[in-house]
Structure 1
Amino acid sequence: MKRLALVTFVLASLLVVPAGPVAAAPAGPRQVIANLFEWNWPSVGTECTTFLGPRGYGYVQVSPPQEHVRGQEWWVAYQPVSYRIESRKGTRAQFAAMVNACHAAGVKVIVDAVVNHMANEDKTGPGWAGSAWSHYNYPGVYQVQDFHHCGRNGNDDIRNYGDRYEVQNCELVNLADLDTGASYVRGRLAAYLNDLLSLGVDGFRMDASKHMPAADIANLRSRLSRPAYLVQEVIFGAGEPITPGEYTGNGDVHEFRYGKDLARMFRSERLAYLRDFGEAWGYLPTGSAAVFVDNHDTQRDVAGVLTHRDNGIYALANAFMLAWPYGSPTVMSSYEFSSRDQGPPSDSAGRTQNSTCFSGGWRCEHRWQVIANMVGFRNAVNGQPVVKWYDNGNNHIAFGRGSAGYLTINDEDGAVNGRSYDSNLPAGRYCDVIHGERSGSTCTGPTITVDAGGWFSANIAAHDAVALHIGAKLP
């Protein structure tokens, strides 16, 4: 078992946070998604303007915007009662202003879309914006005939994930399961998604996609008023009949195995095994996979994933994800919670409070220095192959991305000193973006000199790393 020591590097470097943007993001496509989980709309808009756009994030994923049940728990947002854009995160006008602000900053907006179900019986009406509702009766939206009633298990709930019919026709924890094969339901869901598109939204995370046939999602996509990015939540289950691969024809699919396996490599196995991480591990094709170290579900419900509570090793795992070319990466941005159901920082009425990073419970991993700077690395090396892989057979690895970037991670319990690394980088001086920020012609952290042959030397502390890329090359 590896010792997960929090060395001085973790406290003094990994968790140091840039005060703000130092320079414009490198040129090139912006691929990285920031999941600002349960942020309110004014805070998202401000973050796009002041940080996400300038630091090179390409997308922001926002939590469900539709009217939901009342309550303080995080999951109330996943219990719709109508499709009015009015929630504890803000009004329709605030949502539209957020989208406009993000677009002005060069950041596209992905909405977490709850289309599989409506609310269950844990709460009672009215909804957040005052809409009347009861289980299977959402006036003006749905009535009892618009839902599946599978007749299984005495309460219509899913018990057997080995039964395709049950998973896609019974209820997930008593949530009223929409008949997404019915024409009326499809039309109503498409109207909701198209309303969001009319406000400028660029894509959707399709929540609980596993509980809908892929053909039903394909039909919804065909009804959209314009093209939109889709990423589908399909959790892999060994031996289950419903597989993530069924959904790739609709768009990207979340690769849930990625975060669990990456955590296992960093915690108890060997980073050397990561040399073919991705499709060779039985994962989805890289062009269809959406990956993450953790998300809002796995950080609560899945044993063996890394989260913000792992501090330095979590930052290193994100650094690897952002440097490695497999899949489309999402960076999680969390708030503190002491129980599974705890919702975001809110006032007494349940309205989500403004997000002030690193205070009031907001953890803001997307602003951690290592993670934010590796977004720039990702943009700089886009499209470049992995070259010159090195490992010591254990937990010291290094690799380049063409001639555009180079990362080395030392997750051993001791330092690696005086070693030379063979990169394809052009000769010159580089800012080590793990520990510093490039600011014009200087670096706030260590500088590394690459010689004419592409070689450089570095001392790397235990559980530390060095990352160089052409966007951080000093004049």
Structure 2
Amino acid sequence: MRLAVLALAGGLVAAMASPAAAEPKAQPDPTREGPMVHLFQWPWESVGTECRDFLGPNGYAGVQVSPPQEHVVLDDQGHPWYQDYQPVSYQLETRRGSAEQFAAMVSSCNAAGVNVYVDAVVNHMTGSGSVDSGPGSAGSEFSKYDYPGIFADADFSECRRDIENYDDQWEVRNCELVGLADLKTGSDKVRSTQLDYLNRLVGMGVAGFRVDGAKHMPPEDIGALVNGLVEVPGTGQKPYVFQEVIGDSTTSPTEYVGNGDVTEFTYHHEVSNAFANGAVSGLNTLADSMSVGSEQAVVFVDNHDTQRSSPTLTYKDGARHDLANAFAVAYGYGTPKVMSSYTFDDPDSSPPADDGGMTAPVDCDGAGWVCEHRNRTIAGTVGLANAAGGAEVNNWWDNGRDQIAFGRGEAAFAAFNAGEGEMAGDFASSLPAGTYCDVMSGALVDGSCTGGTVEVAQDGTVSTTIPATSGIALHTGAKLS
């Protein structure tokens, strides 16, 4: 969801009505809402190609990309994924590509109608485990607390030790997260340096930011950065911002909503556990247990951290993971974010790479990359979410445990069978009568369905049989008659 995102509606309608409407968009649209995908650790050229070939055509509204700033190079540790989260400078040279390749990627995604959201690492610089690892990915020499031309010792918090007590909010916000040099984010110098970096990205067409480790910074420090962001060129809008806030007894996501949206980790726990255990009937009251309202929540089944630290559901769980993601996209609470992974056994492992640690081009049909966002069960529901828009859930049905069905206004209907037996019956919907493509199994292409079809009766009844650990999704944008 968005804060203050309606200003361009009239202009967009006019553009859609003009002969140029079929031309690719050359700029981002920070007003656009809808599901996004996290292409974790993807190189820039592959992201640009995916925006053009799959994300745009399938209706994804945005893509979260990995941090684009210079990072440490941990050769002796096999280039683990987390080296990207240890900034050395704000040069745009990483294992995923050059500044020129990053700019080309942003341009390609914008032309495809897909917003680019950068993972912004602004809480810290490098860590204790990378003291002797220089130079960085752009060739910069550094040492912990000393980054020539950028930050010196005085720019870091006085607490030079790891956070020991997570019940102490001062420690959480001022001491070091796993040995990472904690910046004085209240300092004018630190803020101005980081704003130069963030605004340079906005000038290149980046539509927004995910603020990494937001709970480790005071809300007002993030607010100062948000307030200092320039408008996205050609849009009249500030960038969209969502913050990583893992709520606990010390920190509430509600403290940060004044700056933008927040990640709702409670949603991850409830939805992941429900589909892992097959106990999905209670999800009809999902919103009641969330800490923030739907309009300011970014939700997910798994992300790059939970895959490794609390893997309730990941790509390794197959159909249950896919079904949970389809639910998250279809249900309409918050802004859903789909994780797109690479395979791993060691949680620290690098993405597919060459001998020098440079990330390999993505091949969704080959080994190494998972590309969950392309799975038909998930990708099909993106169209449903877009067709439903802001319509609320209606016609909820459940069997008391492992089977559910619901509609989204008069535009969409979905049913999920998280059990081990068939789900068969007549289910109420508000859909117009007709024949619909089941978009979890196929798409509407040239007037016919590439997957299954479902009939909706004159009174909106959906009569269907759904196999175990499966579902159906119908919407008016994939109606045959």
Q: TM-score, normalised by structure 2?
A: 0.90
Residues 83 and 465 of structure 1: is their aligned pair in 2 closer, same or farther, counting only changes over 3 Å?
Answer: same
Partner of 1:74: 81
Deviation at 1:453, TM superposition (A): 0.9
The higher-RCO structure (CA 8 Å, 6+ apart) is 1
SS in 1 for 2:255: helix
Please say if residues 33 and 335 of structure 2, whose CA atoms lie closer than 8 Å, have aligned partners that are also in contact.
no
Deviations 1:390-439 (A, max 9, x none): 1111111111111101111122211123x111111101110111112211
Is the counterpart of residue 51 in structure 1 residue 54 in structure 2? yes
Task: Tell me the secondary structure at the aligned position of residue 277 of structure 1.
Answer: helix
Does structure 2 conserve the Cα–Cα contact (< 8 Å) formed by 1:110 and 1:203? yes
Corresponding letter in the other structure for 1:191? D
Q: 2:355 maps to which residue?
A: 348
1:195 aligns with 2:197: no
Could you tell me which residue of structure 2 aligns to residue 430 of structure 1? 436
Letter aligned with residue 247 of structure 1: Y
Q: 2:329 aligns with which of 311, 322, 341?
A: 322
Tell me the amino acid that sits aligned with residue 376 of structure 1: G
Report the Cα distance in structure 2 between the residues aligned to 1:30 and 1:161, rounded to whole angstroms. Answer: 34
Match of 2:243 among 232, 254, 258: 232
Contact kept? 2:264, 2:290, Cα under 8 Å: no
In structure 2, the residue matched to 1:13 is none
Amino acid at match of 1:236: G
Q: 2:315 & 2:190 partners in 1: Cα distance?
A: 39
SS in 2 for 1:110: strand
1:266 aligns with 2:275: yes
Stretch deviating more after TM superposition (348-357 or 269-278):
269-278
Q: Which residue of 2 aligns with 1:250?
A: 259
Cα shift at 1:79: 0.4
Residue 451 of structure 2 corresponds to 445
Question: Residues 63-142 of structure 1: matches in 2 within 5 Å?
Answer: 63-71=66-74, 72-123=79-130, 124-142=133-151
Cα distance change, pair 29–191 in 1 and its aligned pair in 2 (3 A): closer
Give the letter aligned to residue 297 of structure 2. Answer: A
Cα pair 1:266 1:317 within 8 Å, conserved: yes
Post-superposition offset of 1:108: 0.7
CA distance in 1, matches of 2:468, 2:410: 27
The alignment status of 1:310 with 2:313, answered yes or no, reads: no
SS at match of 2:124: coil
Corresponding residue number in structure 2 for 1:391: 398
Q: CA deviation at 1:30?
A: 4.7
Map Cα deviations across residues 61-113 of structure 1 (whole Å, 9 max, x no partner): 10000000013110010000000001000000000000000010001100000
Change (3 A) 1:269 1:55: closer
Contiguous gaps of at least 5 residues in structure 1: 1-23
Q: CA RMSD in A?
A: 1.4
* SS across alignment from 1:409: strand
AA in 1 matched with 2:164: R
**Would you say 1:472 and 2:481 are equivalent positions?**
no
- Calculate the TM-score normalised by the size of structure 1: 0.91
Offset from partner CA, 1:152-189 (integer Å, 9 cap, x none): xxx61101110011011100011000000111111111
SS at match of 1:474: coil
| Matching residue's letter, 2:402 | N
| Distance in structure 2 (CA, Å) of the matches to 1:120 and 1:449 | 58
- What are the superposed Cα offsets for residues 188-219 of structure 1, whole Å, 9 maximum, x if unpaired? 11111011111111100000100000000001
| Equivalent pairs, count | 440
Deviations 1:217-262 (A, max 9, x none): 001111112211101011112x2x2211100000000001111111
- The answer on whether the counterparts of 2:254 and 2:291 sit within 8 Å (CA) in structure 1 is no
| Structure 1 residues 122-148: Cα deviation after superposition (integer angstroms, max 9, x where no partner) | 222111111010010000000000000
TM-superposed CA distance for 1:268, in Å, is 2.6
User: Is 1:179–2:184 an aligned residue pair?
Assistant: yes
User: Contact 1:262 / 1:293 at 8 angstroms: preserved in 2?
Assistant: yes
Deviation at 1:270, TM superposition (A): 2.1
- Aligned positions of 1:212-223 closer than 5 A: 212-223=217-228
Q: What is the identity percentage for the equivalent residue pairs of Structure 1 and Structure 2?
A: 49
Match of 1:4?
A: none
AA of the residue aligned to 2:125 = M
Question: Post-superposition shift, 1:282?
Answer: 3.7
Of residues 459-468 and 49-58 in structure 1, the stretch that sits farther from structure 2 once superposed is: 459-468
Q: Shift of residue 121 of structure 1?
A: 2.6
Q: CA deviation at 1:29?
A: 5.2
Distance 1:427 1:216 in 2: 53
Question: Is 1:298 paired with 2:306?
Answer: yes
Equivalent position SS for 2:451: coil
* Counterpart selection for 2:295 from 287, 292, 296: 287
State the alpha-carbon separation in 1 of the partners of residues 251 and 442 from structure 2: 45
Paired residues of 1:29 and 1:379 also in contact (CA < 8 A): no
Runs of at least 5 residues in structure 2 that lack an aligned partner in the other structure: 1-23, 25-30, 232-237
- Taking the aligned partners of 1:298 and 1:117, their CA distance within structure 2 comes to 21
Q: Deviations over 1:413-468 (max 9, x none)?
A: 11123x11111110111011111221122112221111111112111111121111
Structure 2 residue 468 is the aligned partner of structure 1 residue 462: yes
Corresponding residue for residue 406 of structure 1:
413
Is 1:144 paired with 2:147?
no
